[in-house]
Amino acid sequence: MKKTYGCLVILLVLLLSWQTGFAAPFSSRDFFRKGVAYENQKAYGEAIDMFTEAIRLDPTYADAYLHRGKAYRIYEISATREAIDDFSSAIALLPKNAEAYYERGLVNAFVINNEAAKSDMITAAGLGHEDARQWLMALNDRKVDAPPPVVAPKAEPTGQQQGFELADYLPGGVRPIVYFDFDRAVIKPEGFPVLDEIGGVLRQRMPTAVILVVGHTDNIGTKGYNAELSLRRAEAVRDYLTVKHGIDAARILAEGYGEMAPEDTNETESGRARNRRAVMAGIHE
């Protein structure tokens, strides 16, 4: 009897070992969930890797395209083409995906493709997206249609690069971002070294480059006021670079997103402080 019992135990152990050895590999949903977990921890590089694996296993996974596009938008300032492609894929797979239209609208606005941005936001709002509706209201409050629209310079047929990572030209660890105090459009002193580095790059290493400065706010205040405040923050950066470093103002495009594209949560003071910022990105060299 004892011998029989011992044999049964051994067989059970072998069976469990066999099942473990042949356990099912990660599915696309497993990789997606891991990506969302990294996204929630703001580990966007790792999140992109996980969403990419999910898409490799299931090229029809609309949510994976949507989340990877969001991660590109936040983590890699210059990856606008990749973000737009991902949002477009999500829309192609789910044509009524309001969030994908909204996110693509944000990226189009970032690269000053204003008509495409407005079209995406109108579609998103029509599908019930509240942030898109608020974005359109802020757009109307600013009366952006009154002055002539600012259009990003087109790439020349001589092989100039369209879009570039400004951080690649800065010392290691320096991000092209400056922060502001609450309800202020005055650059904080700790932002001056960052802008001085950028000014040096634009003056000496890239004397024909064009950059975009996008101002942002936290969510305190009205949408219209925050849109105007964010634009003043972008203009403060442009003015510093033109006055202090002699950069032609035509090479620095300024836009304001208001509270529409937070970098962090608005539920805490530290998160709101990170959202009061201006971000610089290269348009073309």
pLDDT tens-digit profile of 147-201? 333 333 333 333 344 567 788 888 877 888 999 999 999 999 999 999 999 999 9
Query: Could you tell me the pTM of the whole model?
Result: 0.56
Please name the residues in contact with 190: beta carbons below 8 A apart, sequence gap of 6 or more. 179
pLDDT (0 to 100) of residue 11: 54
What is the SS3 assignment for 84?
Answer: helix
Q: Please tell me the distance from the alpha carbon of residue 7 to that of residue 187, in angstroms, as a whole number.
A: 76
Look over the chain and give the mean of its residue pLDDT values, rounded to a whole number.
81
The CATH classification number of 162-284 equals 3.30.1330.60
Mean pLDDT of 142-150: 42
CB distance 70 to 104 below 8 Å: no
Give the three-state DSSP class for 4: helix
Top-level CATH class of 28-142? mainly alpha
Judge whether 196 and 94 are in contact, CB under 8 Å. Answer: no
pLDDT of residue 61: 92
Check pLDDT > 80 for residue 254: yes
pLDDT, residue 34, reads 93
Domain positions in the chain are 28-142, 162-284
- Phi, psi at 191, each rounded to 5°: -85, -15
Do 28-142 and 162-284 come out as alike in CATH topology? no
Joined together, the tokens standing for residue 129 give 């997206």
Cα distance between residue 54 and residue 64, in whole Å: 7
Residue 207 DSSP symbol: T
The DSSP symbol for 204 reads I
pLDDT at 81 over 70: yes
